Structure 1
């Protein structure tokens, strides 16, 4: 990268391309290929012996010029010793846990994690004889009381999936490091534009690049980043041993998406806050769950650790019956119904939190909103027509 690249703005534009830049296409091409050939057995052996290093071409599954450039770009953005790409965000989470845990280990998992993270822990890790214990995500430094001699790892998320509590990242990582316990954080929501969890003490950062990184709802990809070179190598070797691989088109789309990441997430932040604050004033709304709003659990930690917020948040509507909620969601025209987020379109999804460490007893109906790039006045008008369908019994 150029020595003049000193800010995230410059990194998003200049990184992820071979240097020095002379006459060239602006974007790297979609790079297809499996077999790499060598002119000598010595060159082949050297590549084989260093095949886990970013930048070494040995076989297509280990990477190529484009994927290496993307990994280096993300490592720069995340202040990481290295990055490994995976085929999805779920793969990034699952492969990280598999690489670090063994039978007999004890893992602490935040009670508000992504549903697929919980499913993986309950189905795969349990079969491996790994003890999974869920904890209140707002426990902070008191998590130390849950440590056992066999505790290896803490898996948590900032903010929580669906309920948006923002945990004390630095508090948790500080006590974890003191006890020799690894910390793994799902940091999909904030992106490197608004937060660098590795600088906050997190050992391994995982996230879905299918969301804001690619930004157009057309790419499946996961990211594993670590601030420690030895940890990075351990995780990379495991991913390569499993054989997980990111597609060439996905690499191209992620590189393209990163160029506009800062502008897009800043726009999402502005529209998201506008819509959240507007919704908070509507009579059908009981409570907003948005880390940037003062009454959201962990707001003080978000304010300390982040410089901005995404366009994804939760709304708790006053109690109503399920049919009314379905009619409300179905009546919305500018909001698609979908499980993903971070793209350019607005989405809506009813959420039923699953809690085992501390019961979710908030009265009312929880709905998650992803605010895209539509005109916010149109989104408000759409909601104003549908909200009366929630004939609150409050």
Structure 2
């Protein structure tokens, strides 16, 4: 009979199968056991027919990948440690020395830092295009262009591009297009079916998602996803994903799985609160401009309405304001500091409202003509009462007058 120390490791008990509960099980593993050598040699990590190593997937991560595909309308999903890691994975998998990538000038800041840093050092060139002018994108597509990044809505300033026209231009040029779909969250529109009923389907090639935001919903998880409909493209991305050794923790996957069922409800509540507070801000003399895709005077509103406007709850939980030109940085910072419910912090999609002042002139090639001059502040609306958030803004504006 084996000694106790051995028995505790090689215990014969196996729990009965058939256990079912609201939440999927959490499987943590680096090592995965094979029933025999033949199975070890036969199992392939590149599909989901079996398990080979923890980094290549467990029942927990496979389940999350499949549910995310359902959310965004894709067929294949890769999980990575953050939204930026999703962007980097796409770039590293698809670009090589001599290639060019095009980026909207209003793109997520770290994405621009990636192309200006590592990609440029590796001989991959980049150019920025005006997201609100499809002709500028068309003019900058070149024989060297291998990838075009798209965002809807734009980072910080939330202008909404003519996404369908951008995708058509990429299609016509035979260039892959990847969308940062974090704002849309798979709910505002379907990235792989931008115009339902349109044949052939008008779709992006790749949708990346910072699961850190709305799918997590708690402000406590870092994770990203890369979703495609093409098996060939997915395998190209997956091979790079494997070589980079990217993976996510089982407990983080569990947290996103637990939050997914409430995602539509939370997204709608974020949206309703944001519209209410943004409308209130339109009446305040301190603000020269309020930026939110659902507002008629916000840049790109017509594009948003065409793509998202027929569905309830499709404008997310972000809006920005531009203060009047005579309100200086000191007063804007004092306003942010005076807020009590809004906490100063990056990211969005969690239960608590956030605020960040930005220096837009350092983030763009030039000041967009459709934006008023002034200091910009972005708000991420949480799940608090709209009336309480409005009152918080009002008291902070009074203190910095």
Name the CA shift for 1:350/1:356 in 2 (closer, same or farther; >3 Å).
closer
Unaligned residue ranges in structure 2 (runs of 5+): 1-16, 195-202
Which region of structure 1 is more displaced relative to structure 2, 263-272 or 76-85? 76-85
Aligned residue in 2 for 1:335: 342
Aligned residue in 2 for 1:32: 28
Aligned residue in 2 for 1:237: 239
Following superposition, the deviation at residue 108 of structure 1 comes to: 0.8
Aligned residue in 2 for 1:294: 296
User: Are residues 1:179 and 2:186 paired?
Assistant: no
1:149 counterpart (143, 153, 157): 143
Following superposition, the deviation at residue 179 of structure 1 comes to: 1.0
Tell me if the contact between 1:134 and 1:356 (Cα under 8 Å) persists in the aligned partners. no
Q: Which has the larger radius of gyration?
A: 2
- Secondary structure of the residue aligned to 1:315 is strand
Following superposition, the deviation at residue 294 of structure 1 comes to: 1.1
Listed as ranges, the matches of 1:1-394 within 5 Å are 23-47=19-43, 50-200=44-194, 201-306=203-308, 307=311, 308-319=314-325, 320-353=327-360, 354-360=362-368, 362-391=372-401
Tell me if the contact between 2:109 and 2:363 (Cα under 8 Å) persists in the aligned partners. no
Tell me if the contact between 2:45 and 2:52 (Cα under 8 Å) persists in the aligned partners. yes
Which region of structure 1 is more displaced relative to structure 2, 109-118 or 351-360? 351-360
Unaligned residue ranges in structure 1 (runs of 5+): 1-20
CA distance in 2, matches of 1:355, 1:340: 17
- Secondary structure of the residue aligned to 2:222 is coil
Number of aligned residue pairs:
369
Tell me if the contact between 2:106 and 2:364 (Cα under 8 Å) persists in the aligned partners. no
CA distance in 2, matches of 1:298, 1:143: 16
Following superposition, the deviation at residue 22 of structure 1 comes to: 5.7
- Secondary structure of the residue aligned to 1:339 is coil
Tell me if the contact between 2:24 and 2:60 (Cα under 8 Å) persists in the aligned partners. yes
User: What TM-score do the two structures reach when normalised by structure 1?
Assistant: 0.91
Following superposition, the deviation at residue 181 of structure 1 comes to: 0.6
Following superposition, the deviation at residue 217 of structure 1 comes to: 0.6
CA deviation string 1:349-386 (max 9, x = no partner): 10122455443473111000011111111111111111
Tell me if the contact between 1:287 and 1:317 (Cα under 8 Å) persists in the aligned partners. yes
Following superposition, the deviation at residue 234 of structure 1 comes to: 1.1
Aligned residues: CA RMSD: 1.5
